[in-house]
């Protein structure tokens, strides 16, 4: 299994997809009325697909997963580019911090980061911070499902692709539990490798504290779960050969 997609709920997939594609330098894979998908494939870093899917729900406050963009010496330049594409400055009570907090055109917060030695150049996404009610427990869950490996950083726990390149998946102690009935507007998809069995992968996730759920969407080719802290994750079957 390996982490493959970052999925963003959208009211207007083309508006949101166009923003993120231009800002991150993605390549359009899917262009449909309700789904826009763009691929980030920077040299030397693992591929990450961003999928914008149409939903009716409003943007929820205090997202549990967001994007931290690589800034460093180019922080001001990245901020200016984001603002020119439709982002805006956002005050979430961050105070005086070295990173810049912005909102995309649909109000989803993201950060443009200062220099940190653990951020890898080559990928426009520095990190994917995810709220966790129990960092050690969730580290075991995501290590098993993502195919990524633990890495020492200033965060309590973080994972990175085994190549050593690309963004970090950072597990951040949550400020408050995930509200019941509220779906994360951003979630991660994990793709099984050839020969892996979807039922076995679900069983592993459940053994590690995850939960399977049914939103009533009918039969799907993938399985819908949450991690032990309630964050959604989809398990996708192997690609057809």
Residues 103-118 pLDDT 10s? 999 999 999 999 999 9
Checking if the pLDDT of 14 tops 90, the result is yes
Structure tokens, 219: 């039969």
* pLDDT on residue 241: 67
Question: N- to C-terminal Cα distance for the chain?
Answer: 16
Torsion 62-3-27-127 (CA) sign: positive
Give the closest residue to 107 by CA, choosing from 85, 84, 90, 128: 90
Question: What span, in angstroms and rounded, lies between the C-alpha atoms of 120 and 109?
Answer: 22
Give per-residue pLDDT as tens, 143-159. 999 999 999 998 899 99
* pLDDT on residue 36: 98
Checking if the pLDDT of 134 tops 90, the result is yes
Quote the pTM value.
0.95
Give the closest residue to 145 by CA, choosing from 194, 202, 184, 199: 202
Question: What span, in angstroms and rounded, lies between the C-alpha atoms of 227 and 208?
Answer: 9
Give per-residue pLDDT as tens, 67-89. 999 999 999 999 999 999 999 99
């Amino acid at each position: 299994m390996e982490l493959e997609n970052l999925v963003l709920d959208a009211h207007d997939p083309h508006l949101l997809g166009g923003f993120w594609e231009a800002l991150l330098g993605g390549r359009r894979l899917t262009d449909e009325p309700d789904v826009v998908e763009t691929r980030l494939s920077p040299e030397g870093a693992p591929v990450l697909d961003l999928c914008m899917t149409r939903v009716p729900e409003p943007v929820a406050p205090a997202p549990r997963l967001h994007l931290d963009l690589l800034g460093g010496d180019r922080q001001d330049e990245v901020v200016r580019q984001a603002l020119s594409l439709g982002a805006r400055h956002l005050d979430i009570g961050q105070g005086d911090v070295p990173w810049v907090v912005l909102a995309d055109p649909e109000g989803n917060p993201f950060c443009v980061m200062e220099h940190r030695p653990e951020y890898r150049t080559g990928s426009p996404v520095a990190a994917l911070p995810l709220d966790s009610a129990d960092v050690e427990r969730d580290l075991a869950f995501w290590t098993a499902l993502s195919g990524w490996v633990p890495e020492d950083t200033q965060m309590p726990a973080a994972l990175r692709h085994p190549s050593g390149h690309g963004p970090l998946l950072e597990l951040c102690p949550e400020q408050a539990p995930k509200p019941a009935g509220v779906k994360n507007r951003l979630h991660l998809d994990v793709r099984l490798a050839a020969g892996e069995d979807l039922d076995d992968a679900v069983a592993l996730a459940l053994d590690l504290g995850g939960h399977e759920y049914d939103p009533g969407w009918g039969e799907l080719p993938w399985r819908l779960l949450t991690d032990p802290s309630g964050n959604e994750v989809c398990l996708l079957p192997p690609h057809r050969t």
